[in-house]
Amino acid sequence: MLRTNESAENYLETILSLSKTKPVVRAVDISEELGYKKSSVSVAMKNLREQNHITVTKEGFIYLTESGKAIADMIAERHEVIMKWLTSLGVNEQIASEDACRIEHVISEESFEAIKKSVL
C-alpha cells in the first residue's frame, strides 16, 4: 500500500478529476478547483513530483504517474462508494460528499470493503 497524506491524496484525486474534463491540467486549474493559493499548489506539486506521483512538462502540464493514478483511482472509488452509501442511508447529497471527502482518507481497507459490498 502506498502511503500518502490526506493533502497529497486530495491533490491527486483533483488532478484525476480535472484530467477527465480538460485536455491538460495545470497548477492554475488545481488552484481554481480547490480554492488554494497558487503558491500552495506549487509546493504540493513539487512534493508530488519528488515522490514520483506526477510528472510536470516544461510547459507546466501535470500528468499522473502510474503510482499517482493508482492512489487517485483508490481515493475516487472510496469517495464514490462512501457517498453512495451515505445517500442510501438518507444523508443529503452535499453533506454526504463532504463527509465522504473526510472519511475516504482514514477508513481502513476492511471497513471500506464491507461498505462496498453493502452498496454494490
> Over the stretch 70-82, which tens digit does the pLDDT of each residue have?
999 999 999 999 9
Contact at 8 Å (CB) between 29 and 22? Answer: yes
Question: For the CA atoms of the chain, what is the radius of gyration?
Answer: 15
Longest dimension (CA), the chain: 47
CA pair distance 69, 61, nearest whole angstrom: 15
Cα separation, 42 vs 45, whole angstroms: 5
pTM, rounded to two decimals:
0.87
pLDDT at 107: 94
Q: Is the pLDDT reported for residue 43 higher than 50?
A: yes
What does the pLDDT read at residue 5? 85
Closest by Cα among 5, 13, 4 to 83: 13
pLDDT bin (cut points 50, 70, 90) of residue 6 is: confident
In order of their start, the domains of the chain are: 6-65 (1.10.10.10), 71-119 (1.10.60.10)
Torsion of CA 35, 27, 17, 92, to 10 degrees: -10
Per-residue pLDDT at 120: 79
Quote the mean pLDDT of the chain.
94
